[in-house]
């Protein structure tokens, strides 16, 4: 279980930074982040920073996890697609806030570790897929929300196509070295786009992302 003082300090920090959704804050307080970081980084689990994980990937900064999650305004009845299971931490947060999570990871080792951790935490409302996240998972859609935990040169059209009307996609978009985190809402006519903040994520590799030869 998390160190109470450290967890409390993180929640206070997130609140000061503008995270106001009490359900999001409660989920972050509940999920033990130290279970999702490397053993040598356990003491840093409740510091508001990104940390390295296996396969050259990262576990996102808690503020970014909270900001992305808050942008969906989840009520508990949604189905959310997550691109990039990674450590499984963001997956765990989403699992507390919506009806069902579909999570896709391209690295088998990460996917297996995340599934094991989430199983240990008795999180059961997640479906896992191994493969190209840029193509989504149409057979389990459409989705109320799509969270992309890696940076794309543009919003993948396959993901847009799997959003319900009124559904939201949160995704970092831009160059390799820096991106804008955007919230895009699907309307019958177009995507309505809002910038949330500047950010820097690992690259989204796939048919509608960056080529694997670059990653």
Active site residues: 60
The SS3 call for residue 61 is: coil
CB 160 within 8 A of CB 147: no
Report the 10 Å Cβ neighbour count for 164: 14
CB 65 within 8 A of CB 29: no
d(CA 15, CA 88): 23
Residue written as tokens 């080792």? 109
Report the 10 Å Cβ neighbour count for 130: 14
CB 182 within 8 A of CB 173: yes
Query: Where does residue 189 rank: exposed (0-12), middle (13-18), buried (19+ CB within 10 A)?
Result: exposed
């Amino acid at each position: 279980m998390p160190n109470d003082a450290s967890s409390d300090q993180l929640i206070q920090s997130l609140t000061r930074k503008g995270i106001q959704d009490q359900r999001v804050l409660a989920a972050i307080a509940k999920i033990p982040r130290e279970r999702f970081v490397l053993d040598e980084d356990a003491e840093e689990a409740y510091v508001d920073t990104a940390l390295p994980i296996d396969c050259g990937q990262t576990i996102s900064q808690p503020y970014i996890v909270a900001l992305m999650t808050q942008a969906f305004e989840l009520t508990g009845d949604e189905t959310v697609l997550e691109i990039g299971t990674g450590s499984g931490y963001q997956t765990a947060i989403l699992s507390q806030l919506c009806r069902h999570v579909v999570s896709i990871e391209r690295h088998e080792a990460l996917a297996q570790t995340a599934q094991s951790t989430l199983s240990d935490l008795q999180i059961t409302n997640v479906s896992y897929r191994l493969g190209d996240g840029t193509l989504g998972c149409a057979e389990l859609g459409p989705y109320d929300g799509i969270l992309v935990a890696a940076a794309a040169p543009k919003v993948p059209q396959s993901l847009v196509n799997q959003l319900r009307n009124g559904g939201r996609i949160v995704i970092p978009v831009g160059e390799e070295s820096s991106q804008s985190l955007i919230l895009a809402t699907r309307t019958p006519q177009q995507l309505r786009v809002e910038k949330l903040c500047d950010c820097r994520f690992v690259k989204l590799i796939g048919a509608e992302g960056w080529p694997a030869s670059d990653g």
